[in-house]
Structure 1
Amino acid sequence: MSERPYTLLSCCTSLDGYLAGAGQRRLLLSNDADFDRVDEVRAGCDAILVGAATVRKDNPRLLVRTATRRDDRVTRGQAPSPAKVTLTCGAQLDPTARFFTEGETDRYVYCASSAVTQARRSLGPRATVIDGGQPVDLAWMSQDLYGRGIRRLMVEGGGSVHTQFLTAGLADELNLVIAPFFVGDHRGRRFVDDGDFPFHPGRRARLAEVRQIGDVVLLRYALSDRFGAP
């Protein structure tokens, strides 16, 4: 296999496995202590990846929040926050979204071939738009990121992106946080879609750590023999 970044999937779900409810309002699943843990993980990564739907719906900043962690990154010769990465089929991205306007870091948009021209016209100098194939080839994208110096990649969703990385066998670690409540509405967004996953009743993922963080619990799963690599 060609070289690719160590890839860590990170998400928080309800007890019944939902990332989001049925409405447009963002569902806050975690707590302040876990947000700080996620910030620490972000600070140790070279890039953070989310899908275009997450950029549109949640308008995330994807920055390291804590000043001391940003300073530590700068001391190591890095940007204050990891590079930002997204992938899209239709290039329906708002150039004024915080993904593109906030933070001093590189931004990469892996775009389906048919929408590359539109994406470059819309985003201009705000991001590097890369032809990722038709549709975007995640394995090739991972290798391309490695070639751009990304050695540790944090994938923060959403559900379609998690599904693609897991079913393609491109994830080395899963950080799954469980919130202590139910969504109870099938119209909400689940953690993953249907798919042919490498872990199933006949092949279980290895649970490497269980940690209580206030009223939530973190489950760390080893998904490859690269788990825990620095």
Structure 2
Amino acid sequence: MRVLLSVAASLDGYIDDTSAQRLLLSNAEDFDRVDQIRAESDAILIGAQTLRTDNPRLLVNSAQRRAARVAQGKPEYPVKVTVTDSGDLDPHLNFWHTGGDKLVYTSNRGAAKLGNRLDGLAEVISLGERLELPRLVEDLGTRDIHRLMVEGGTGMHTGFLAADLVDEIRLAIAPILVGDPAAPRFVGPAQFPGGVGRRLHLAGVEKLGDIAVMNYLVNPGTHPDN
């Protein structure tokens, strides 16, 4: 499976501020770029905290791109995936009521708390006593998920990178400074594979209006479509 981590951040590394309103870091061109990546993905994943905070629909918005997916024999929408250890998920969120299939990965504790709350809305998969991301990726692979797009938030970015599960990072940098230490950052503290000296491969830089999009390959040469 190929895992692509997609994120928009401020110049000083924040993905949001601490206000009640979502900080819009992307512009129209960048939103369209992200929509294209979604259309190319078999599944899109976000963490439960992002789900609760942003209440996203997480859809492919372009009708043309959805039609192209169907013409290729794919579902109209990618599978939507979320991850929760606590099981604290509101069944009224937009995530459950738009798009195609939904999967929830959790622990035994989270599954017990969820009970039948998401019946008819999503498939709940318990990964056992501990919610381990490598096992999540392995399970997705058994479901014919070949391209996974991870859209956040900080916990998911950090977890996937620390577990060395990411093949590619698309990092959009907005010309904004947040400067609030309480605001969420791109990644949190972790032990990352290769240590501090590890350098990722910069495969490209794209200018979209006032946003710079950097494409980093984490393990160059491991996939034929690099």
TM-score above 0.5: yes
Query: SS state of the match for residue 116, structure 2?
Result: helix
Shift of 1:98: 1.0
Closer, same or farther: CA 227–176 of 1 in aligned 2, 3 Å: farther
So what's the TM-score if we normalise by structure 1? 0.94
Shift of 1:191: 0.5
Letter of the 1:13 partner, please give it: A
From 19, 43, 47, the equivalent of 1:47 is 43
Q: Distance in 2 between matches of 1:61 and 1:218?
A: 23
- Specify the alignment match of 2:88 in structure 1: 92
Shift of 1:88: 0.2
Shift of 1:22: 1.4
Closer, same or farther: CA 228–41 of 1 in aligned 2, 3 Å: farther
From 143, 148, 151, the equivalent of 2:146 is 151
- CA contact 1:173–1:227 (8 Å) conserved in 2: no
Structure 1, unaligned stretches of length 5 or more?
none
- CA contact 2:5–2:170 (8 Å) conserved in 1: yes
| Alignment deviations for residues 197-223 of structure 1 (CA, whole Å, 9 cap, x no partner) | 125542211111111111000010001
Q: Distance in 2 between matches of 1:125 and 1:164?
A: 29
Query: SS state of the match for residue 13, structure 1?
Result: strand
Q: Distance in 2 between matches of 1:130 and 1:124?
A: 12
Closer, same or farther: CA 227–12 of 1 in aligned 2, 3 Å: farther
Q: Identity percentage over the alignment?
A: 45
Of 36-45 and 128-137, deviating more is 128-137
Shift of 1:37: 0.5
- CA contact 2:157–2:187 (8 Å) conserved in 1: yes
From 113, 124, 130, the equivalent of 1:129 is 124
Shift of 1:86: 0.5
Shift of 1:134: 2.8
Letter of the 2:225 partner, please give it: A
- CA contact 2:88–2:110 (8 Å) conserved in 1: no
| Alignment deviations for residues 30-55 of structure 1 (CA, whole Å, 9 cap, x no partner) | 10001000000100000000000011
| Alignment deviations for residues 42-79 of structure 1 (CA, whole Å, 9 cap, x no partner) | 00000000000011010111110000000011111111
- CA contact 1:6–1:226 (8 Å) conserved in 2: no
Q: Does 1:24 align with 2:20?
A: yes
| Alignment deviations for residues 168-225 of structure 1 (CA, whole Å, 9 cap, x no partner) | 0000000000000100111100100100112554221111111111100001000113
Query: SS state of the match for residue 124, structure 1?
Result: coil
Q: Distance in 2 between matches of 1:35 and 1:18?
A: 18
- CA contact 1:108–1:127 (8 Å) conserved in 2: yes
Query: SS state of the match for residue 95, structure 2?
Result: helix
- Specify the alignment match of 2:33 in structure 1: 37
Provide runs of 4+ in structure 1 moved above 4 Å.
none
Q: Does 1:14 align with 2:7?
A: no
Q: Distance in 1 between matches of 2:223 and 2:134?
A: 18
CA RMSD of aligned residues (A): 1.3
How many residue pairs match? The answer is 225
- Specify the alignment match of 1:176 in structure 2: 171
Closer, same or farther: CA 93–68 of 1 in aligned 2, 3 Å: same
Structure 2, unaligned stretches of length 5 or more?
none
Q: Does 1:216 align with 2:211?
A: yes
Closer, same or farther: CA 42–228 of 1 in aligned 2, 3 Å: farther
Q: Distance in 1 between matches of 2:39 and 2:192?
A: 29
**Within 5 A, what are the aligned runs for 1:46-125?**
46-103=42-99, 105-125=100-120
- CA contact 2:87–2:109 (8 Å) conserved in 1: no
